[in-house]
Amino acid sequence: MTSPLIGVDELAARLGEVTVLDVRYRMGGPPGPDEYAAGHVPGAVFVDLDTALAAPPGPRGRHPLPDEEAFVRAMRAAGVRDDGPVVVYDDWSGHAAARCWWLLRFHGHRDVRVLDGSWAAWQAAGLPVEQGAPAPAPAPGDFTARPGAMPAVDATTVAATQVVIDARAPERFRGEVEPIDPVAGHIPGAVNVPTARNLGPDGRFLPAAGLADAYAAVGAVPAADVAVYCGSGVTAAHDVLALEVAGVAAALYPGSWSEWVADPARPVETG
């Protein structure tokens, strides 16, 4: 299996033959288009998470899955082709990039990879940087959606999953703080593997064996039925990506905690 990650050296060697998507997004951080304009991987096309990779907030959560037609339009505008490899990166440790990776994979694209170490690794390597405001891709893509290629669960089926992983920070999982959603806590029976545990001190993903050990400790092994959620379905994709590196297939719960607590009848656990 080809790794869902790509290193900066390999990407640098393949510029021009891959479609590169810049998904700059950080909660509470500077606007992505401004960061892109200040410097990006040469040839990369900016993709906005809020408009291209999510539908407007509502009963399905703060970042529901985008409308299929809208997602296809955004990917074609970014130059994504059915038969062309895609590399996605951000400046948020791979969290936003993982969301784009998952959406493309879910909709049937077979060759999508996330830049390991993100934008920081590209800069640290002293590789070329291009500047300029976001613009359309040089040529439109022909991406066609074939949804369902990656597993997903919803508010009804997530609770029946054998291993439910909460990707949020430990204090949010325990319900000690909740800075965003109206209710604190977690889905009953869930276990906590925060996304920070996926990365080493250099900001790159841990080796496959290290990730496999970390997830096996909570029962997420290749034979298990695994699902992942977070606050709004974005950072959970980071755990799904790490699990894929480890050789474990996992479903995403796109609505996540923000959808779960929208219905007061759903149970909540703390501690």
What is the spatial order of strands in the sheet that 226-229 belongs to?
A: 191-192, 163-166, 226-229, 251-252
Per the structure block, which two tokens stand in for 179?
């800075």
Outline which parts of the chain fall under CATH 3.40.250.10: 5-125, 155-262
- Top-tier CATH class for 5-125: alpha beta
One digit per residue, the tens of pLDDT, for the chain of length 271 reads 589 999 999 999 999 999 999 999 987 778 899 999 999 999 999 999 999 999 999 999 999 999 999 999 999 999 999 999 999 999 999 999 999 999 999 999 999 999 999 999 999 999 999 999 999 899 999 999 999 999 999 999 998 999 999 999 999 999 999 999 999 999 999 999 999 999 999 999 999 999 999 999 999 999 999 999 999 999 999 999 999 999 999 999 999 999 999 999 999 999 9
Give the predicted TM-score (pTM) of the model: 0.97
* Of 53, 104, 48, residue with least CA distance to 80: 104
Give the Cα separation of 39 and 62 in Å (integer).
Answer: 29
- Top-tier CATH class for 155-262: alpha beta
Where in the sequence numbering do the catalytic residues fall? 230
